[in-house]
């Protein structure tokens, strides 16, 4: 494994191995899942960084910002250090042993089978009743689902699929191609931190407005390129080379990244996607129908596999 070409081969086989393991077996047990360990650290660190408050949000809280930033950095250094150490250990082994082992270590950083399964479960539950669809959707997103009608449930499920296609698959693979296992681990850590800390205002009796600011911005930065690549791959998965109006739709959301894959999905399906009172993507589109959820899953699956050659090219370029 001493040459650049060996590292490229190692990365290529590890990418495929990770996806095949994910498609076949899904997530490892919680007690062995690195992302669960990250979540536990972030939970404890978040309690230290964010003291309990009432219902008001301080105009400024530099202490909370400093604690949140230091806690995030400490976790990031730890996660990358462990990943780097494991990768260095594998670098001493022959490629035919190191590649599958690296693939197994990469697998927990991505989650395609679970994402697709949860979206399909929403559609299945909705076919029984609206209440069942809402209940199942609540497992998939943090949005208030109780006021959604059947169309709204489908919209939210497809939006979550599109956005998490980047967060759970394309972005971890992109950062693996760019920086190996430490890159994928850092991205997964940053995305988990944003999910747990990146809230405005008070949540759970704690004000995250300042303590979670660094986590939110770090996730935005690390997701910037992958989100746009995810949109481009979705367009290719839909049999097109370009999607007119995509950048306009992407700007409808407050997130600098989430609008790209969601906008691409809305345009490809020809449907409206939105969050009531917040944003609306492809306003001229029709309402989401039951069959659109299956089509969205098929487009997402093609995107996942299209990301593999893209990452091969990136990894090869990094090791030239």
Residue 225 lies in a domain: yes
Residue 4 lies in a domain: no
pLDDT of the residue at 8? 81
SS in 3 state form for 101-158?
HHHHHHHHHCCHHHHHHHHHHHHHHHHHCHHHHHHHHCCCCCCCCCCCCHHHHHHHHH
pLDDT of the residue at 317? 77
Residue 1 lies in a domain: no
pLDDT of the residue at 2? 44
pLDDT in tens, 89-101: 999 999 889 999 9
Q: Does position 3 have pLDDT exceeding 50, yes or no?
A: no
pLDDT of the residue at 1? 40
Q: Report the percentage of the chain scoring pLDDT > 70.
A: 95
Average pLDDT over residues 113-126: 97
Average pLDDT over residues 16-31: 96
Q: Does position 205 have pLDDT exceeding 80, yes or no?
A: no
pLDDT of the residue at 59? 63
Task: Tell me which residue range forms the domain holding 278.
Answer: 10-314
Q: Does position 314 have pLDDT exceeding 80, yes or no?
A: yes
Q: Does position 172 have pLDDT exceeding 80, yes or no?
A: yes
Average pLDDT over residues 287-294: 95
> What total number of domains does the chain contain?
1
Residue 319 lies in a domain: no
Average pLDDT over residues 171-188: 97
Query: Is 203 buried (19+), middle (13-18) or exposed (0-12) by CB count in 10 A?
Result: middle
pLDDT in tens, 51-72: 776 555 666 778 889 999 999 9
Find, among 108, 101, 85, 107, the residue nearest to 33 by Cα.
108
């Amino acid at each position: 494994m001493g040459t650049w070409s060996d590292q490229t081969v190692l990365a290529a086989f590890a990418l495929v191995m990770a996806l095949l393991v994910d498609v076949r077996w899904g997530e490892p047990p919680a007690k062995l899942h690195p992302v669960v360990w990250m979540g536990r650290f972030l939970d404890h660190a978040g309690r230290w960084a964010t003291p309990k408050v009432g219902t008001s949000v301080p105009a400024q809280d530099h202490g909370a910002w400093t604690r949140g930033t230091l806690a995030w950095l400490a976790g990031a250094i730890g996660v990358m250090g462990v990943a780097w150490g494991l990768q260095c250990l594998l670098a001493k082994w022959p490629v035919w042993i190191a590649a599958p082992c690296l693939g197994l270590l990469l697998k927990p950083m991505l989650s395609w089978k679970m994402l697709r399964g949860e979206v399909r479960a929403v559609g299945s539950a909705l076919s029984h009743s609206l209440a069942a669809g809402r209940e199942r959707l609540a497992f998939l997103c943090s949005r208030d689902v109780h006021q959604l009608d059947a169309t709204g449930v489908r919209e939210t499920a497809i939006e979550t699929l599109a956005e998490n296609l980047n967060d759970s698959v394309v972005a971890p693979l992109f950062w693996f191609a760019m920086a190996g296992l430490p890159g994928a681990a850092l991205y997964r850590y940053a995305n988990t931190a944003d999910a747990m800390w990146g809230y405005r205002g008070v949540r759970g009796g704690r004000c995250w407005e300042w303590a979670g600011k660094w986590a939110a911005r770090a996730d935005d930065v690390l997701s910037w390129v992958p989100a746009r690549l995810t949109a481009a791959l979705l367009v290719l998965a839909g049999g097109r080379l370009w999607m007119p109006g995509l950048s306009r739709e992407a700007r409808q959301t407050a997130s600098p990244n989430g609008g790209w894959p969601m906008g691409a999905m809305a345009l490809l399906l020809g449907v409206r996607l939105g969050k009531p009172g917040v944003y609306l993507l492809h306003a001229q589109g029709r309402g989401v129908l039951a069959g659109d959820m299956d089509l969205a899953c098929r487009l997402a699956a093609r995107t996942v596999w299209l990301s593999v050659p893209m990452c091969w090219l990136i990894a090869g370029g990094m090791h030239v």
